[in-house]
Structure 1
Amino acid sequence: MAPTNPPCETIDLLVVGGGINGAGIARDAAGRGLSVLLVERDDLASHTSSASTKLVHGGLRYLEYGEVRLVRESLIERERLMAIAPHIIWPLEFVLPQSAGSRPAWLIRAGLFVYDHLGGRKRLPATQTVRLATDARGEGLRHRGGRAFAYYDCWVDDARLVVLNARDAAERGARVCTRTAFVRAQRTAAGWSATLKDSARERTVRARAIVNAAGPWVNQVIGTVECARKSSHVRLVKGSHIVLPRLYPGAHAFLLQNPDGRVVFAIPWLDRFTLVGTTDEPWHGPPGEPAISAAETDYLLATVTRNFARPVTAQDIAWTYSGIRPLYDDRAANASAVTRDYVLDLDADGGRAPLLSVFGGKITTYRKLAEHALEILAPILGSSPTGWTSGAALPGGDLPDRDRRAFRETLKARHPALPADLLARLADTYGTAAEDILHDVTEPGDLGQAFGAGLTARELAWLADREWARTAEDVLFRRTKLGLDIPPADWPAIDQWLADHTRTRAADPAPAGRIQSTARR
Structure 2
Amino acid sequence: MPAAVPPIPSAGAHRGDCDVLVVGGGINGCGIARDLAGRGWRVLLVEADDLASHTSSSSTKLIHGGLRYLEYHEFALVRKALQEREVLLKSAPHIMWPLRFVMPHDPGMRPAWLIRVGLFLYDHLARREVLPGSEGVDLRRHPAGAVLKPAFTQGFIYSDGWVDDARLVLLNALDAVDHGATVLTRTRCTQAQRSPQGWTARLRDADGCEREVRARALVNAAGPWAESFLRTNARPAGSETLATKSLRLVKGSHIVVPRSATPGWDHDHAYIFQNPDKRIIFAIPYEGDFTLIGTTDQELQGDPRNARIGEDEIAYLCAQASRYFRQPITPADVAWTYAGVRPLLDDASGNPSAVTRDYLLETNTEAAPLLSVWGGKITTFRKLAEDAAADVGRMLGEARKPWTEGAYLPGGDLRPWIGEPRRPDIDFERFVSVVCQRYPWLTAGLAQRLARAYGSRLDRVLGGARHLSELGAEVAPGLYEAELRYLQREEWARSADDVLWRRSKLGLHFSNEERERVARWAGWTEKK
Shift of 1:333: 1.1
Q: How does 1:428-447 map to 2 (within 5 A)?
A: 428-447=452-471
1:117 aligns with 2:112: no
Shift of 1:331: 1.4
Q: Distance in 2 between matches of 1:231 and 1:449?
A: 54
Q: Structure 1 residues 145-154 or 155-164, which shifts more?
A: 145-154
1:349-375: per-residue Cα shift (whole Å, max 9, x none)?
Answer: 1xx311111110000000000111111
SS at 2:483's partner residue? helix
Q: Distance in 2 between matches of 1:325 and 1:467?
A: 25
| TM-score with structure 2 setting the length | 0.91
Matching residue of 1:517: none
Q: Distance in 1 between matches of 2:464 and 2:433?
A: 19
Matching residue of 2:210: 202
SS at 1:45's partner residue? coil
- Look up the equivalent residue of 2:144 and give its one-letter code: R
Q: Distance in 1 between matches of 2:196 and 2:373?
A: 25
Residue 66 (structure 1) aligned to one of 69, 73, 90: 73
Q: Distance in 1 between matches of 2:152 and 2:214?
A: 65
Task: Decide whether aligned partners of structure 1 residues 379 and 312 sit closer, same or farther in structure 2, where only a CA change above 3 A counts.
Answer: closer
- Look up the equivalent residue of 2:351 and give its one-letter code: N
Matching residue of 2:373: 358
- Look up the equivalent residue of 2:257 and give its one-letter code: L
Shift of 1:188: 2.7
Residue 23 (structure 2) aligned to one of 13, 16, 29: 16
Q: Distance in 2 between matches of 1:383 and 1:439?
A: 41
Residue 372 (structure 1) aligned to one of 387, 390, 397: 387
Shift of 1:185: 1.1
> Is contact 1:132-1:144 (8 Å) kept?
no
1:259 aligns with 2:268: no
Shift of 1:452: 2.2
SS at 1:307's partner residue? coil
Q: Structure 1 residues 161-170 or 431-440, which shifts more?
A: 431-440
Q: Distance in 2 between matches of 1:143 and 1:324?
A: 36
Residue 479 (structure 1) aligned to one of 497, 503, 518: 503
- 5+ residue gaps, structure 2: 1-14, 416-420
Shift of 1:296: 0.6
1:178 aligns with 2:197: no
> Is contact 1:77-1:368 (8 Å) kept?
yes
Residue 335 (structure 2) aligned to one of 292, 301, 318: 318
> Is contact 1:12-1:381 (8 Å) kept?
no
1:233 aligns with 2:246: yes
1:423-442: per-residue Cα shift (whole Å, max 9, x none)?
Answer: 01111111011122223121
SS at 2:412's partner residue? coil
> Is contact 2:202-2:213 (8 Å) kept?
yes
Matching residue of 2:6: none
**Identity over aligned pairs, percent:** 52
Q: Distance in 2 between matches of 1:137 and 1:453?
A: 32
> Is contact 1:133-1:144 (8 Å) kept?
no
Matching residue of 2:472: 448
Shift of 1:382: 3.8
Shift of 1:499: 4.3
- Look up the equivalent residue of 1:299 and give its one-letter code: Y
Matching residue of 2:439: 415
- Look up the equivalent residue of 1:201 and give its one-letter code: C
Q: How does 1:93-172 map to 2 (within 5 A)?
A: 93-143=100-150, 145-172=152-179
Q: Structure 1 residues 228-237 or 256-265, which shifts more?
A: 228-237
Matching residue of 2:222: 214
SS at 1:204's partner residue? strand
Matching residue of 1:465: 489
- Look up the equivalent residue of 2:281 and give its one-letter code: V
Matching residue of 2:396: 381
Q: Structure 1 residues 437-446 or 319-328, which shifts more?
A: 437-446
Matching residue of 2:200: 193
| TM-score with structure 1 setting the length | 0.92
- Look up the equivalent residue of 1:232 and give its one-letter code: K
SS at 1:125's partner residue? coil
Residue 268 (structure 1) aligned to one of 277, 285, 294: 285
> Is contact 1:378-1:385 (8 Å) kept?
yes
Question: How many residue pairs get matched?
Answer: 491
Q: Distance in 1 between matches of 2:413 and 2:109?
A: 43
1:124-145: per-residue Cα shift (whole Å, max 9, x none)?
Answer: 1111111011111111112354
SS at 1:489's partner residue? helix
1:225-248: per-residue Cα shift (whole Å, max 9, x none)?
Answer: 112422332110000000011122
Residue 426 (structure 1) aligned to one of 440, 443, 450: 450
Q: Distance in 2 between matches of 1:25 and 1:13?
A: 10
Shift of 1:285: 1.6
1:88 aligns with 2:103: no
Residue 397 (structure 1) aligned to one of 407, 412, 423: 412
Q: Distance in 2 between matches of 1:297 and 1:232?
A: 32
Q: Distance in 2 between matches of 1:312 and 1:97?
A: 17
Residue 44 (structure 1) aligned to one of 24, 43, 51: 51
> Is contact 1:472-1:494 (8 Å) kept?
yes
Task: Decide whether aligned partners of structure 1 residues 441 and 316 sit closer, same or farther in structure 2, where only a CA change above 3 A counts.
Answer: same
SS at 2:212's partner residue? strand
Q: Distance in 2 between matches of 1:410 and 1:9?
A: 47
Task: Decide whether aligned partners of structure 1 residues 453 and 231 sit closer, same or farther in structure 2, where only a CA change above 3 A counts.
Answer: farther
1:113-169: per-residue Cα shift (whole Å, max 9, x none)?
Answer: 010011111111111111011111111112354211001100000000000000000
Matching residue of 1:488: 512
Q: Distance in 1 between matches of 2:298 and 2:467?
A: 50
Matching residue of 1:285: 302
Q: Structure 1 residues 284-293 or 360-369, which shifts more?
A: 284-293
Q: Distance in 2 between matches of 1:280 and 1:145?
A: 26
Q: CA RMSD in A?
A: 1.4
Shift of 1:384: 3.8
Which is bigger in relative contact order (C-alpha 8 A, separation at least 6)?
1
- Look up the equivalent residue of 2:254 and give its one-letter code: H
> Is contact 2:34-2:175 (8 Å) kept?
yes
- 5+ residue gaps, structure 1: 1-7, 501-521
> Is contact 1:453-1:485 (8 Å) kept?
no
SS at 1:207's partner residue? strand
- Look up the equivalent residue of 1:116 and give its one-letter code: D
SS at 1:288's partner residue? helix
1:366-395: per-residue Cα shift (whole Å, max 9, x none)?
Answer: 000011111111122244432100111000
